[in-house]
Amino acid sequence: MRPLLMLMAVLLAVIATVGAAAFTYVNVRQLVADSPVELPPPPQAGNNAPTAALLLTTAAVPSQVSAVTTSQAATPQAQASSSAAPTVVPIWTDPARISILLLGIDQRKGEKGPFRTDTMMVLSVDPVRKTAAMLSIPRDIYIKIPVYNKPDRINNANVIGDSIITDYPGGGPALAVKTVQSLLGIPIQRYILINFDVFTTVIDAIGPINVCPEAPIHDDKYPDGSYGYITVDFKAGCQDLDATRLLQYARVRHNAGDDFGRARRQQEVIRSVREKVLSLGGMSALIGKAGTIWASLKDSIRTNMTFEEMLQLAQLAQTIPKDNIRSAVITDTGNYLMPSVLPNGDQVLSPVYERIHDLVQKLFDSGPGGAGDTQASAEGAAIVVSNGAGIDGLAKAVADRLKGQGFNIIEARNADQPGGYGKSIIKVYGGKVKTARYLAEVLGLDGTAISMEKDGPPGVDIELIVGKDLEALGKQ
């Protein structure tokens, strides 16, 4: 069953190399196997598959699992053919930033859903600048839940979307995405929701993970999974932890910074798991674990990501330097959150939106080492924004937005054919391509929008002709 191998391999890579080691920060009390969540089936892989790819050998693949190339459709007939074919992992080519909401469900043995997402993290990847950012979101933020139109803790959005607003497209995870978007003020394109079944299997496959507590941790009220408690201890300093101990390290709260300290350790674990996978040789080194990992993984994920996106993001993640991954936690220090008390006496956290938005902008729109905006600034390209959509005020709105992001906008005007452009075009005069690529990334345009031209207007390096595909920018 060759598609299973590919699916297992990419999901493991996404989890381990892009940040879905988020398994470790789910606030669950028991590993459970009786409440699976749905995983979309692999799509048909046809002749339009990307040509640039990494080939993974299959010498170590278990006999019951084999590989399939993207030139073959994932059909029973294709599954029955030769098992010696390499797995093709396509390369991510879209220059637009992609943000993913990672959700961990709280689940006890024997419990049926829906479940609160007691851990929420946004992972944002910038393919152009080769940077990534992680932002942890406290579960007790009290916010108006979209569509439901009532305030609640942010970790209840998944429950509301799955059990109260039962006709909401995408259910609980999609409503959680919409809620987090309203908090952070940024678009989030994808989600991954997991339960905790697979954590031990994945970490056992990777091997011990190195973490470095800054201070000793002692918790005599760590949940044992049976409504009781045990005592866990961690000494200060770097140490290798197996799956059981790593789970405890990621979950421990008491005498360990409570939710905010736990969020920081969870981010530490994500970084450490990623580094361990890369040190092993990346995704290809783990294919020999395919059968065991797939058995645990297949029932533990719910996502709106396509099969190709998982493959591509796994590859992209391995190209991002360690120093280009930034992280932050929304905390009650720094004026991001204000402690509040509800009429029933419950304690919650009220968001200070302007402060949170500032944090998000600094975290997601910057990054060390070779950032695209730095390169674009160095080029100093003079940019004209032309309205090709025929929508009043659109060119000025886009120009103002780009000025606020540091672009050198010298004029906003009508295009040669107002209303004649369905798709936006970036015309480059004189070769300042780095700015053009970064401009496309900021606007969410793909590389086909960039056009190399000659004999441009005097003093103009780049002309952005705004088409109807950017109409939404005029309403923001």
Amino acid at 386: S
154 near 179, Cβ under 8 Å? yes
Report how far Cα 293 is from the mean position of its chain's Cα atoms. 22
- 210 Cβ neighbours under 8 A, 6+ residues apart: 238, 239, 240, 241, 272, 276
CATH topology of domain 372-475: Alpha-Beta Plaits (3.30.70)
Region class of 292: left (phi > 0), else alpha (psi between -120 and 50), else beta: alpha
- Collect the ranges in the chain with pLDDT lower than 70: 1-90, 106-110, 196-201, 225, 256-257, 281-299, 307, 311, 365-378, 476
pLDDT at 77: 38
Domain boundaries, the chain: 2-364, 372-475
What is the rounded CA–CA span in Å between residue 99 and residue 412? 30
CATH of domain 2-364: 3.40.630.190
Strand partners, 440: none
Phi, psi for residue 150 in degrees, rounded to 5: -130, 150
pLDDT at 69: 27
70 near 49, Cβ under 8 Å? yes
pLDDT at 169: 93
pLDDT at 290: 54
DSSP strand E in 383-461: where? 383-387, 409-414, 425-429, 450-453
In terms of residues, how long is the chain?
Answer: 476
